[in-house]
Structure 1
Amino acid sequence: MIKIAGICGSLRPNSANHRLLHAAWKQGAPESELNLIDWSMIKIFDDQSAPSSDLLEIAAQISSSDALLISSPEYNWSIPGGLKNLLDWLSVLPQNPILNKPTLIMGASSGRLGTARMQPHLRSVLTHFKADLVSHPEVAISNTSEVFDPSGDLIDPEIENLLKQAMAELIKLVPAS
């Protein structure tokens, strides 16, 4: 069974990006195991401090997964500060948990552009980590109130197909066991 680590760039439990993580998994890899990583306890980055046990646990969860699925909102045209903080902490660990990790970037926003401006920034950071990034299709969901119903279920068939395609590309990157 393929193990996927999921990171949501929003800490809001019912955010569109949490919904998108679940929808991508459900549409594209329901036979896999999705482990949503809680990073809410990670302190502000300080390269003079030792990594916390919480951070080491997150790194272990990512390392032990077969693939990484990241869904993030766009804040001020870029990566949310909390998500960038997590990535900064992961960057100083002796063992890079994202090295060669099959990774899919996604994002959802209520605005018209979705997360089109955030994703190149996140892609750049993950390229530094040498993640094995899905290049196409890009998943940047806009107008989320029209894509998810009030209970959080995906209701747009075009987005369902996009997620199936993107997840198929992610699964292709996972080495056969």
Structure 2
Amino acid sequence: MNVLAFSGSLRQASFNSGLIRAAKELAPEGVRVEQADISAVPLYNGDEDGNNKPAAVAHLAQKIIKADALLFATPEYNYSIPGVLKNAIDWLSRVEGSIFAGKPAAIMGASMGGMGTSRSQYHLRQVLVYLDVHPLNKPEVFVSAAHQKCDESGNLTDEKTREMIAKQLQALKEWHDTLKG
């Protein structure tokens, strides 16, 4: 199973990109996690929304089409989804063929605050449901006090959180198998 993972942060030492790096290490047998690069996706402009999508959007669209499942690691900015992640999703949702439809997905997030991105995850879940993505309900991964659970490079060091991510990836694999079975 190929999982395409999106980090909602472009920061070099992003805690959320660190969650994805941990997911790559913790993926169950038969599961491969690849991180998508959304840094080159331009701001959405409806005037450019025709047959000639920007190259970064077309490249990501092909990766989504080939992916068996999706993984989102989102920070929380002002109680919601970071603009860079929402922008990438907005562009990709306009690619012909409803490329998100039917894909199973898991959502996780890390923040320095006490709620561990719960509000942004719920907003992201609403967006994904509209796109006909099938978000995994449980287990949820809300990483609070991420600055105490990650090193200075954003790499996850907390063993309990690593266990939660491993459980979520196993559940995503099972959810994929259920949906595709």
Compute the TM-score of the two structures, normalised by the length of structure 1.
0.91
Match of 2:62 in 1: 60
Q: Which amino acid aligns with 1:58?
A: L
SS in 2 for 1:112: coil
Is it true that 1:76 corresponds to 2:82 in the alignment?
A: no
Note if contact 1:4-1:69 (Cα within 8 Å) is conserved in structure 2.
yes
For structure 1, the 5+ residue unaligned runs are: none
Q: Structure 2 CA distance, aligned partners of 1:23 and 1:137?
A: 16
Amino acid at match of 1:135: N
Q: Percent identity?
A: 34
Report the alpha carbon displacement of residue 136 of structure 1 after superposing the two structures with TM: 0.7
Q: What is the CA distance between 1:58 and its match in structure 2?
A: 0.3
Q: Which has the higher helix share?
A: 2
Structure 1 residue 152 displacement after superposition: 4.2
**Amino acid corresponding to residue 88 of structure 1 in structure 2:** D
Q: Are 2:38 and 1:36 aligned?
A: no
2: distance between equivalents of 1:30 and 1:52? 35
Give the SS at the match of 2:47. Answer: coil
Does the CA contact (< 8 Å) of 1:45 and 1:88 recur in 2?
A: yes
Write the distance in 2 (CA, Å) between the matches of 1:60 and 1:122. Answer: 21
Structure 2 equivalent of residue 26 of structure 1: 25
Write out aligned runs for 1:156-171 (5 A): 156-171=158-173
Give the CA deviation at 1:9.
0.4
The offset of 1:174, in angstroms, is 2.2
Deviation at 1:85, TM superposition (A): 0.7
Would the aligned equivalents of 1:41 and 1:54 in 2 still touch at CA under 8 Å?
yes
Separation of aligned partners in 1, 2:155 and 2:58: 33
What's the counterpart of residue 109 of structure 2?
Answer: 107
CA shift, 1:81, in A, is 0.6
| Deviation at residue 141 of structure 1 after TM alignment | 0.4
Q: How does the TM-score come out when normalised to structure 2?
A: 0.89
Question: What is the one-letter code of the residue matched to 2:42?
Answer: K
SS class of match (2:38)? coil
Q: Supply the AA of the counterpart residue of 1:76.
A: N
Give the aligned partner of residue 86 of structure 1.
88
SS of 1:4's equivalent in the other structure is strand
Letter in 2 for 1:27: L
CA distance in 2, matches of 1:132, 1:10: 23
Q: 1:154 to 1:42 in 2, by over 3 A?
A: closer
Residues 21-80 of structure 1: per-residue CA shift (max 9 Å, x gap): 111232233653222111111111122313212201101101101111110110000000
What is the CA distance between 1:18 and its match in structure 2? 0.7
**1:119-130, aligned counterparts within 5 Å?**
119-130=121-132
Unaligned runs of 5+ in 2: none
Q: Is the 8 A contact 1:132 1:173 kept in 2?
A: no
In the alignment of these two chains, the number of paired residues is: 176
SS in 2 for 1:105: strand
